[in-house]
Structure 1
């Protein structure tokens, strides 16, 4: 269970990093990451609580992607 959530977080961080040309804030990247994490879990056929976990992991991944150098 943890591995798919980790992959969703990494994927969300990478997608959030694709917004470089518009100079997004941490909040913008967190929103993009949360949406991506939620959709990944939905596509995987997971239920409500797993979708929220995916959104949470995605939000953290998106907000922190520039801090770790993934989206610079």
Structure 2
């Protein structure tokens, strides 16, 4: 569980520090990736799975979710 906490802290700090100077779509995708990776790490750490696999899969799902949210926001404008 200690490794999961370290990975979550690292993913969160990298995700938040990298958002400056990006467009709205890129910020949503990057934020989604960071949140997804964090959720994947915690989820797999709790269930006893592969932590790095959870981070990668969660990051991919989060990136897709950020893109979809951006597209929905653009359609509402």
Deviations 1:6-45 (A, max 9, x none): xxxxxxxxxxxxxxxxx78211110000000000000002
**What CA distance in whole angstroms lies between the structure 2 residues aligned with 1:63 and 1:55?**
12
Equivalenced residues, count? 46
Aligned residues: CA RMSD: 2.4
Q: Give 1 or 2: higher helix fraction.
A: 2
Q: CA, structure 1 residues 45+37, in 2 after alignment: closer, same or farther (shift >3 Å)?
A: same
Which ranges of structure 2 fall in alignment gaps of 5 or more residues?
1-23, 73-77
Displacement of 1:66 in angstroms is: 4.0
Tell me which residue corresponds to 1:30.
33
TM-score between both structures, scaled by the size of structure 1: 0.53
Displacement of 1:67 in angstroms is: 3.8
**More relative contact order, 1 or 2 (CA 8 Å, 6+ apart):** 1
Which ranges of structure 1 fall in alignment gaps of 5 or more residues?
1-22
TM-score between both structures, scaled by the size of structure 2: 0.50
